[in-house]
Each structure stands twice: as C-alpha cells, then as structure tokens.
Structure 1
Amino acid sequence: MNELDQKINRYFLGLVVRKDLVKTVKGNAIVPSYVLEYLLGQYCATSDEATIQTGIETVKEILAKHYVHRNEAGLIRSNIKEKGRYKVIDKIGVALNDKVNAYQAEFENLGIKKVVVDSGTVKKHPKLLVGGVWCICDIEYEFNEEKDASPWILASLKPIQLSHFDYDGYLEARKQFTTSEWIDVLLQSIGLNPEVFGRRSKLIQLIRLIPFCERNYNLIELGPKGTGKSHIFSEFSPHGTLVSGGEATLAKLFINNTTGKIGLVGYWDVVAMDEFAGSNKKPDIKLIDTLKNYMANKSFNRGTGPQGAEASMVFIGNTSHNVPYMLKHGNLFMDLPETYRNTDGQAILDRMHWYLPGWEMENLRSEMFSEGYGFVVDYLAEVLRSLRSQDYSDRYQKHFSLSSDISTRDRDGINKTFSGLMKILFPHGEVSVEEIEELLRFSIEGRKRVKDQLMRVDPTYGNVHFIYLDSSKQTKNVTTLEEEEYPHYYHTTFFDGEEGTSDANGRADALVVCSDAGLAPEVVLKEKHLTFQENQKGISFDDLLGPYLRGTTSITITDPYIRLFYQIRNFMEFLETIVKHKAQDEEIAVHLVTMEDEFKGEQQKETFEKIKESSNAVGINFTWEFDNTGTIHARNIVTNHGWKIALDRGLDIFQHYEMNDTFTFANRLQQYRPCKAFEVTFIRHKEKTHK
C-alpha cells in the first residue's frame, strides 16, 4: 500500500475496500458494482492480505451459490423447491395487483412472478415499486392447488445498501486529509486511478457526484463514446437509476394517468437519461413540457394536481463531431434532437446547471482504473445522500460576489454547482479562500458553457458577462476551455462572421498558438506571457516555440527532469521542432543542462549518445552536461539571437497518452494531446552563445 492507502485504512477502518477486487469477484455476473462492493465490504474491508484472500473466496462462493444467472434460473428454482427455502441475490420489482388487492414481486433473473409482498415491506422500501431494487432474499416454495396461487413465498427481503453510518465520524476523519489527498480518495472510491488524471480532470469526474448530494440538480454531459459517462449512474449508487433515452416516457418518469402510479422522479435521488443525443430522434412534446416545468419548479402536474419531487436529472449523450467542427458549423448542442434546439426544447437546455465537457475525458484504459483503496461505494452513496438536506451555496459570498449582469437562472446554476462541490470536497467547512475561488470559477465555467451555446442556438438570448468580484471589488473574468482553445471559431460565430475578435482576457496571442494552421496570422515575435489550462488541446512545440527558434545557431535548454522515457521523448520532439524551423544547410548547436538519474544514469547517458549520433545527421550538434548540485530549478530555453523562453514545467507540458499505440493521433501529433496546466514567458535578452 502507498501512503494514501494506509491513511484511508487508518481513518476509515472497515469502510474501505481495494478497488481491483471488484473485477476479481465479478466473473460473468451482470450486477452493479455497488452490489459487489456491498459483499466485499462485509468480508474484505481490511488491509490484511490474508483476510482479503479469505474474503474474496467467501464472496465468490456467495455469488456462485446465490446470485441468479438467467441461464441458471431453472436450477435455482429447483433448489428452492427441493430445499424448501433458499437465499438469492436478484433485482426485484413490485407492483400492486388490484384484482387480488396485494403487492406482488417479480424477480428479474430468477423469472418468478406474483410473489406476495406484505405492505410493511413496500412502505419501508418504496423504490421496489419503481425501477426495481437489488436485494438479498429468502424464498420459500409451498405448492398450493388453488387457482392462480403462487407457490413462491417471500420469507425475507433486504435491499443491498448501507443501513446507517456515523456522519460526525465521517466529518472528523475528513479533517485528517489535505484537499489533494481527499480528491484522490474520492477518485479511488469511484474506481479511478488518480495518478493518471490532472486536477481539472479530477474535478470534472467529481462533478458527476453532485446530483447525488444536491437536490434537483440538472446536469448534461455530451462527449465521445467510451469515456465512462453512464458508469456512475448505473453502477455507483443504489439511489440512482439509468434510463435509456427510448424508454424515457411521460408515464415512466412522472406519473401514469391510467394507474395514478408516480414515476421514477418520485422515488429516486438521481434519474439519468442515457442516449439523450441523436439528431434524428423525435422526443414526445408533452414529455418535454413536463420536463421543462419539473426542472424549473421541482414539481409536475399530470391531471392529478401538482406533485413535488427532488430527483436530480442527468442527460447523457454521444457527440459525433469534434469541438472545433461543432463550434465552426453550429454549437456544442448540435448532436441533440432538433426538438431540444427549437424554442420549447431550449427551455430545457437553459435549465441545465452545468454542462460537463465529455470531450475532455479520454477513453477509459486499463491504467485509468484504481488498484488502491477507496470507500465501499454504498457507504459513499449514503454520505452523499445525507448531504442533500444541506445548503453550502453561500459559502463563497464572504469573499466573492457575482456580477449583477448574471441572471437569476445563471446564478442558481452556479450556486448549486458550488454547493455540491463544497459538500463533496469540504463537508467539514474548512476551506481556504484560494480553494473557494477555484470551485467558484469551475462552477461559473460549466454554466457559462450552457449559456454561450444557447446564444449560438438562438441569438435572442442576451450576451452575459460571466464575471465575479473579489473582496477588493476587483473584477475577474471566466472563460470556458473551448474559448481558450479555439477563439477564432468561438467568437466569429457569436458576432455574425466578424473575424479577429478576442475575449476580455486579451487571448489574441493564444490564437497564434492554438488555432488551426490555416487560420493563424503571421507570427510577430514579441515579449509575452501565456497561460494554458489543463486539458487544453491544440498546443505543439512547433507552434508554441518554433517561431522563436528560427534563425538561431545556438540553443541552451535547462531542464533538471530529462531522465524518464517520456521526458526524453519530449526532448526528442523539441529537437524535431528545431529541425523543422532551420534550413537544411544550417547547423545548430544544442546544449542540454539536466540532472543525472540516481539509479539509471548509465542508461540515460547511452540514450543521449544515441540522440547525439542521430542529431549529427540532420545538422544538430547535441551536447549535454549533468548538474547534480541540486541548484537548477528554473526551466528555460536560451537562444543566441536574443530570446529566453521560461517554461514553468519545462518540456513536460503534456498529459499521459498512449506512447506505444501507433494508431493514436495523440501519439503522432502533439496538438491532439491534452496538456497540463502551464505557463510560458518569452523574454528578450542580450545575445549569449554557448561555447
């Protein structure tokens, strides 16, 4: 175990489980993760390896004996008949049969129906009536010759979810973790490896938890396939349900006028609508009207009078185009059915509190899944559920205020997102001003993404300046990442084809760095400072550094971290940029100052020798030196024709990508890689030639 795993086990003893165990025990059981982790939590919630191994075997045995596979349902039914009583794990739905005045259960995998359930059980677990619940049940068999009588008897029923937890103990234990540690604990708890995600990506993942802790929260996520959009809502919590877009009917979601039966929003904390996108789909207009009213007023009326509910709504869909295409040819809602983009449907989009940019999430790969310790998910689900009754939306107002230009609806979206993030990250209330500002900016960005795209759909929406003020009344502007990456497309569309418009942050310089090659103007070299956000794409050494290297005959690069394979590969790509920007008949001296690897210094030297040999053939005279004094911290590039380029991260500006996958464009072209947050400063200096 690493230090964080040890800390989790120390302060949450018995409430955490090693996340790779889910795959170990799952086998071919088609069952949500929270069901498996419930069992693992009973037998494997420990750091003792011997106990874990014994617990794994116990859980496997329980699943083998009691989990009902559909293709083995006949065998299980036979076991019940022969033994008289048998325990099963299955998904159970209950309905009222008014002909016999009784509640009757249907077992999804076992395939038995009309199993009588007493009223007390239904009152205690009302979600049995809507959508079905995973349960551990004792079933008895007693044949009865009466007509229509079922031989199956429900002896006991226990939904698979935590019955209680110590909330005060949770808050006290949270205090023992730094913010970064706590974020990593939560990432591991939802099954992700925090080591492969940057800060921004981690926060985006945690946004998906807000609907579980914030009542009536409306979230939309559109992005490419395979990024794990629906996983949280289908696997994470017994309080959320995932509905396919084609199954989202008025009766199923809200109320059945024929039976008077309340729909999903009346029983579940979160209702997620999958497959929401698809430009050819034609949603029910009445469903859209009811959704619109519910998302605005937290109530619905289907002829039986107003009904209140607090379910959060999540809308998930796939995009079929990349971001620059959508911005150039339409908007970031362009893959939704046209019905949602006309006048009535726009009202639903305007009620979204946050637009999660799914295109920033990479396709899930094996190294992205956690093998460390995290909360048993039903424990975390209960924690989040208990936070639904609290309100943290005003926690920023002592230090910051929103611009009066921001409407009430925009303000609600920002406040609810901020409240949700505070509950998730700082439930104990101990938070710095800098951390409050980080969450506030993040909350504003997601709502701005909604409003900016609505302005593209319908120009009658007024332009809103998403600005906030600090305690000294200094104004601060917020932009979306797409705005930073593609300012030409972003602002051309806004202003009816007028080109050259830059945003309030003066990001015209970023246009040179980030826009498509065919659109970028001729680069004029000047002193400047650029800041790039995490996950920003469209950045390459060629565009960022190339113009400032053209014409030099000597370059010195100082970077203490050119040791690991990916760092040396970055350096090799930097040399490629030099080659691209020099004439074939020129030679350039490149000198590297770095630190020797403590354990693999000889291998590092061998690699540099290979680079030297290769560079000679293309007109690069490569030399290097090791400075192991520990005094080199600044990372910069100095040319002998008057420029110093200060890179706060050195050449290590890109996030992890598949280096060994020949067929991934991120492997071959830097502009398709998401970058880390970094800054670069271009400074004129006196000529200095390396000797």
Structure 2
Amino acid sequence: MDELSKKLNRYFPGRVVRKDLTKKIKEGANVPVYVLEYLLGMYCATDDENSINDGVETVKNILAENFVRPDEAEKVKSKVRELGRFTVIDMITVKLNEKLDIYQAEFSNLGLKGVEISPQYVKDFDKLLAGGIWCIVKMSYFYDEEVKMASPFNIDSLTPIQMPHMDIQEIFEGRKHFSKDEWIDVLMRSVGMEPTQLEQKVKWHILERMVPLVENNYNLCELGPRGTGKSHLYKEISPNSILVSGGQTTVANLFYNMASRQIGLVGLWDCVAFDEVAGIKFKDQDGIQIMKDFMASGSFARGKEEKNANASMVFIGNINQSVDVLLKTSHLFEPFPEAMANDAAFFDRMHYYLPGWEIPKMRPEYFTDEYGFITDYLSEFMREMRKRSFTDAFDKYFKLGNNLNQRDVIAVRKTVSGLLKLIYPDGNFSKEDVEEVLRYALVGRRRVKEQLKKIGGMEFYDVHFSYIDIETMEEKFVSVPEQGGGKIIPEGLSKPGHLYTVGRGKSGMIGVYKIETEVVNGTGKFEKTGLGSDREAKEAIETAFRYFRANSKNISGTISTSKKDYLMHVEDIQGVGLTSELALAAFIALCSGALSRPVQSQLVVLGSMSIGGTINKVEELANVLQVCFDSGAKKVLIPMSSAADIGTVPPELFAKFQISFYQDPKDAVFKALGVE
C-alpha cells in the first residue's frame, strides 16, 4: 500500500476498496462498477491479503450463483421453483398496475414481468419507478391455481445495491487529514484513475466531469476523440445518473408524460447524459425548445402547469477532425445535430465546454490498482453535496470583469461552486484555492463564448473574460489554449510589401488574409500564388496590379513597373476560403514593396476597390472589427464610406483601435505607410 492508501484506510475504514479487485472481476462480469464495489466493500474491506483473496472468491461465487445472465434466465427461474427460495442480483423496474391497484416489478435480465412488490419498497426507493435499480432480491415461488392472473414468483426481500444512508460529517472530518493534491488524487482513484500517470490539467478535467453530479441544473458539454472515457463516469460510476445512448428521445420520456401524469428522467435522476450528441433527436417538434427552457431555468411548462427539476444535462460526443481544422473551418459545436448546430441560444446555456482533446486515450496504466472510495459512497457524497452551495465563494476576494453578461456569471459561479464542493467539501479554502478554481471556470465558459461568437456574430463579441482582485484592483485576463495565445498579427514592423486585411471568405465566415509581395529586378512581370482556382480572388489581384501600373507615378516617381518583377502570395490564414475583397490591400502591398517601406505596425487594411479606383464600403463593420481585434490588430484603416456605420460598433470595441479613414486608394497608401 502506498501512503495515500494507508491514509484512506485509516480515516475512512470500510468506505474504501482496492480498485484492482474491481477491475479483475469487472472484466469477467457484466455488472456496473457500483454493484461490484458494494459486494467487495462487504467482503474485502481489509488490508489482510488472505482475507481479501477469500472475499474476492466469495464475491465471484455470489456473482456466479446469483447474478442473472440473460441467456440463463430460464435456468434461474427453474432454481427458484425447485428450491422454493433463491437470491438473485438483477435490475428491477416497478410499474403501478392501476387496474389491480398493485405495484408490479419487472426483472431486466430474468425477463419476469408482473411480479407483485410491496408498496413500502416503492416509497423507500422511488427510483424503482423510473429507470430501475440494481438490487439483491430474495425470491420465493408459490403457484396458486385459484389465482390465474398473479405471478407465482414473490419478492420476500429487496436490498438496493446502494448505500442506505450517508453521514456527510464523516467526509468533512476525514477531508481535514488530506492536502488539496492528496484529496484530488483520492477522487481520481475513486473513479478508477491512477493520478500518478495523469497531468495536472487532465485531473482537473476529470473533476469537471464530476461537477454535474454535485451541482443542480448544470449543463456540461464534452466533445473530443474516441476512447477518452467520456461516458464512463455517468454509466458505471454513479447510480444517480442515466446515460441516454444514441440520443433519440421524447419529451414525455425526458420531461413529462401528460398521459400518465408522470415526470420524466430530469425529475428522477441527478444527471441526464446524452451519449453521441450527433444523434440527439426529438420525435416532438417542441423538444429542443423545452430543453432550452429547462437548461436555462430548471423548469419547463407542460399542459397547464410548470414543473421544476434539478437534473444536470451532459452532452458527450466525438470530434472527428483535428481541433485546429475545426476552429478554422467551423466551430467547436459542429458535431451537434443540424437542429441545434446553428442555434446560438441553445449553446449559450452551456455552463462549461470541457476540451476532450486534452484528455489522453485510456490505456491500462491510467487505471489504478490502489485504494479509492467505494463508488457508491462517492456517489452518495456527491448527491449530498447537491444540497449545499458555494456560488458566492469568490465574492470575498474577486469580482468578474465587464465582458461577462448574466449568463456568463451564472455559468462561472456554478462551475466554481461545483469544483469547490468536490475539492473542499468542508468549505475550508484560501484565496489562492478560489483563484485557481475561478480561472479554470472562466476558461471553460470563454470556450463556449468564443464558439457563440462564430455562430451568432456581434451579439457575442464580448469574450475577453477577466476577474479583478478586490484587494489590489488588478485585472487578470484568461485565454483559451486552442485559440492560441500568440496573435495572428505580430507586434513590430513587418517587411515592406507585407500586410493584413480582413474580409468575408467563400465559407461565409470572416477571416484574416496576409498579402506578401517581393520586388526583384526584371522586366515588369507579375506573378501571383496562393489563389488556387478562385476566379474572384484572381480578378481582384489582377485589378490591383493594373491599377498599380496605371497610377504608380501618382504615388512616387521612383516606382518602376517595367524594370522590376512583382511576386505576390496571398495566404488565407484562418482557412475560411479566399475572398474577392483583396484589390485595395494588394495595391497598398505593391506600393509598399516598390518603395521598400513597411506599412505601420499591427495594421489591418479594410475595404476593396473597383478597376477604376472606386472604394467599396465594409459590410458588417462591427463583426469585421471584432475579427481584427481577436487577430491582434491595433490600427485599422477604414474607407470614409463606412464612417456612417460606426454607430453599429460597440463603443468599447471601437476604443480598442487607432482608426484612420481614407478617401481614395492614394490616400490609403500614404496613411498605411505612415506618410501624412
């Protein structure tokens, strides 16, 4: 045993289990982890190797004898009949038969239906009525030929394979004996992971997966590669969450069945996880609207009344391309079905976007052989913590920056609350502890906001999330790793003939383009590269060179178009497709190259021109300026014809730039080169 396992056994005796035992038996028995660990906790809660081996054999025998395999259902039924009494482990679901006024149980693997069950069990364990629970059931058999309708099978006693009660004070007391890092490692081991093999950020992501289980009405999205264990926690570890596989569902099943007047999954489970978001489909037209309503407020209207429920929503799916490609060509919510993929209001309700691509694919060494909490104990702890709230925990030390709107604030508060409940359940944390959690929460919500900006444009322009230290009034900003800390437009002067412009690409998205021009001795030839087969972009560059040849002497008498060759390369930096709005920028780049004079530092040139030099105004100026800002531009050159649109730009965005207006192409060249 390592030190951490010894500490766990010392402070939580009987509440821990050696996870390699779970693994060994799990590979041969198709039962959820919490079923196995309940049994292992009963028979192997010791550190004596011989007793453990005996306990493992006992558990194996119980599973071999009593666990019902679907293909052996008839054999087990026969055993109950022949022996008169027999104990089985099976998934039990209960329905009320109102015609006979009795509750009837259905055995999942045994295939039995209509077995009468005492109302007391239904009162004590209401989850029997929704989705069912794994139970140890003592059964008997009595056939009465007088009663034709009744099942001869009887339930003598039923024990859910879950902890009957939980003393939260036990966790609070035990937690005091562990450091922050030790406690995080305990949580990792409790869900089966080996912390010594995981990077720090991966541990935080696995903790974030647990937040929907400790926080009410929390909406989490995790998209990433296959094989990173996205659904494992919701399917195997917690008996309080349900995994909706395939994504197909109905409003009646998920929210409320108006015919039977029964609340759906959101009222009966702590967490509803949708596996494979690409397949989410409602048979009802209003399904997504009701889901949006529920995700925002925790309530929904069906029929005449409004219903409240506490379930968290988790959306899990696969990203098939690399994140870089997805960020350039689309947005990170693209795997969602079409009905949702462009619905910014739906994604705005996500409290956190967990970057699944930062979690490694699961290999044997990532699974632990050490001690961790029995998963059922862990689940009950998480369930108990749902009754508490730490949403105001950071108010004592920090306030949030002005780029966060009300939805952003709620999202960040919920994430902070959830992580603090997991790491510091006793509420004992310092300013540094809170700051670490707050930064993590801001990054995940900013990731949502960055994608919303791509889907919904200007409405979501304020993505520069920050928090302010109340003591020093210092404002600290957070960035999203995959957006890249390095800006597209670097600081300092670029080479002569190099400049940036922003325009709408073939894909319909606004992107940044870099034009590079080389001027060498020659005979007046003009070569262009990087344009592929895009006819409109080629025409725009040709227009620029023809205008340059005709008007270069107006710029400077030193420019030669007959004794120099001009080579131009256009780069579509963000992969949004080439644009037809390149002529004016290309003309300035040619003049800059010919004069060997660089354009101003961190400048973006906006606007395009016709072959006669007529300037066209910039469409969607606010969105274009937002892209300029995100790319690192400090100065922007705008056509005078766009001055009327300045009112559409949020003042705080407009204030980020040094803006110059130009009247015509010649004016644009002088202002770009800093020649007044």
TM-score, normalization: structure 2? 0.71
Amino acid at match of 1:12: F
Q: Deviations over 1:504-526 (max 9, x none)?
A: xxxxxxxxxxxxxx999xxxxxx
2:512 to 489, 498, 508: 498
Distance 1:370 1:384 in 2: 21
52-61 or 165-174: bigger deviation: 165-174
The residue aligned with 2:359 is 361
Name the CA shift for 1:300/1:519 in 2 (closer, same or farther; >3 Å): closer
How do residues 319-334 of structure 1 correspond to structure 2 at under 5 angstroms? 319-334=319-334
Distance 1:53 1:461 in 2: 62
SS at match of 1:105: strand
Distance 2:403 2:56 in 1: 57
Distance 1:456 1:284 in 2: 29
Distance 1:450 1:329 in 2: 17
The residue aligned with 2:417 is 419
Given that 1:46 and 1:52 are in contact with CA atoms closer than 8 Å, whether structure 2 keeps it comes out as yes
Deviation at 1:278, TM superposition (A): 5.0
The residue aligned with 1:430 is 428
Amino acid at match of 1:208: R
SS at match of 2:315: strand
Deviation at 1:488, TM superposition (A): 4.4
Amino acid at match of 1:430: N
Amino acid at match of 1:235: E
Distance 1:66 1:293 in 2: 45
Amino acid at match of 2:148: K
The residue aligned with 1:391 is 389
Name the CA shift for 1:447/1:288 in 2 (closer, same or farther; >3 Å): same
Identity among equivalent positions (%) equals: 47
SS at match of 1:277: helix
Amino acid at match of 2:258: N
Distance 2:437 2:393 in 1: 11
Distance 1:492 1:251 in 2: 48
Given that 2:189 and 2:368 are in contact with CA atoms closer than 8 Å, whether structure 1 keeps it comes out as yes
Given that 1:141 and 1:151 are in contact with CA atoms closer than 8 Å, whether structure 2 keeps it comes out as yes
SS at match of 1:208: helix
Name the CA shift for 1:305/1:136 in 2 (closer, same or farther; >3 Å): same
The residue aligned with 2:240 is 239
Name the CA shift for 1:73/1:443 in 2 (closer, same or farther; >3 Å): same
Distance 1:468 1:283 in 2: 43
The residue aligned with 1:466 is 465
The residue aligned with 2:167 is 166
SS at match of 2:93: strand
434-443 or 117-126: bigger deviation: 117-126
Given that 2:115 and 2:154 are in contact with CA atoms closer than 8 Å, whether structure 1 keeps it comes out as yes
Structure 1 runs (4+) greater than 6 angstroms displaced: 491-495
SS at match of 2:303: coil
Name the CA shift for 1:437/1:211 in 2 (closer, same or farther; >3 Å): same
Given that 2:250 and 2:283 are in contact with CA atoms closer than 8 Å, whether structure 1 keeps it comes out as no
Structure (1 or 2) with the larger CA radius of gyration: 2
Amino acid at match of 1:462: F
Amino acid at match of 2:104: Q
Deviation at 1:282, TM superposition (A): 7.5
Name the CA shift for 1:497/1:287 in 2 (closer, same or farther; >3 Å): same
Amino acid at match of 2:445: R
The residue aligned with 2:483 is 483
The residue aligned with 1:376 is 374
CA RMSD, 1 decimal = 2.2
Given that 2:400 and 2:466 are in contact with CA atoms closer than 8 Å, whether structure 1 keeps it comes out as yes
Deviation at 1:27, TM superposition (A): 4.5
Distance 1:298 1:388 in 2: 14
Distance 2:6 2:36 in 1: 23
Unmatched tracts of structure 2, length 5 or more: 490-500, 515-570, 574-676
Deviation at 1:275, TM superposition (A): 1.3
Distance 1:155 1:492 in 2: 74
Deviation at 1:277, TM superposition (A): 2.2
How do residues 52-201 of structure 1 correspond to structure 2 at under 5 angstroms? 52-145=52-145, 146-201=147-202
SS at match of 2:457: coil
How do residues 209-288 of structure 1 correspond to structure 2 at under 5 angstroms? 209-277=210-278, 284-288=284-288
Given that 1:213 and 1:388 are in contact with CA atoms closer than 8 Å, whether structure 2 keeps it comes out as yes
Given that 1:392 and 1:422 are in contact with CA atoms closer than 8 Å, whether structure 2 keeps it comes out as yes
Given that 2:163 and 2:380 are in contact with CA atoms closer than 8 Å, whether structure 1 keeps it comes out as yes
Name the CA shift for 1:43/1:336 in 2 (closer, same or farther; >3 Å): same
TM-score, normalization: structure 1? 0.70
SS at match of 1:497: strand
Deviation at 1:311, TM superposition (A): 0.8
Amino acid at match of 2:472: S
Deviation at 1:432, TM superposition (A): 2.5
Kindly tell me the number of residue pairs found equivalent between the two proteins.
500
Name the CA shift for 1:117/1:221 in 2 (closer, same or farther; >3 Å): same
Name the CA shift for 1:278/1:321 in 2 (closer, same or farther; >3 Å): farther
The residue aligned with 2:404 is 406
Distance 1:282 1:496 in 2: 33
SS at match of 1:96: strand
Amino acid at match of 2:142: E
The residue aligned with 1:46 is 46
Distance 2:378 2:47 in 1: 19
Distance 1:499 1:430 in 2: 51
Q: Deviations over 1:594-619 (max 9, x none)?
A: xxxxxxxxxxxxxxxxxxxxxxxxxx
Distance 2:199 2:315 in 1: 25
Q: Deviations over 1:31-82 (max 9, x none)?
A: 1101101111111122221221111011111111111011111111111001
480-489 or 448-457: bigger deviation: 480-489
Name the CA shift for 1:488/1:148 in 2 (closer, same or farther; >3 Å): farther
Distance 2:261 2:486 in 1: 50
Q: Deviations over 1:401-439 (max 9, x none)?
A: 101331111000000000000000011222222221110
Amino acid at match of 2:475: T
Name the CA shift for 1:446/1:270 in 2 (closer, same or farther; >3 Å): same
Name the CA shift for 1:395/1:92 in 2 (closer, same or farther; >3 Å): same
Deviation at 1:284, TM superposition (A): 4.5
Given that 1:327 and 1:493 are in contact with CA atoms closer than 8 Å, whether structure 2 keeps it comes out as no
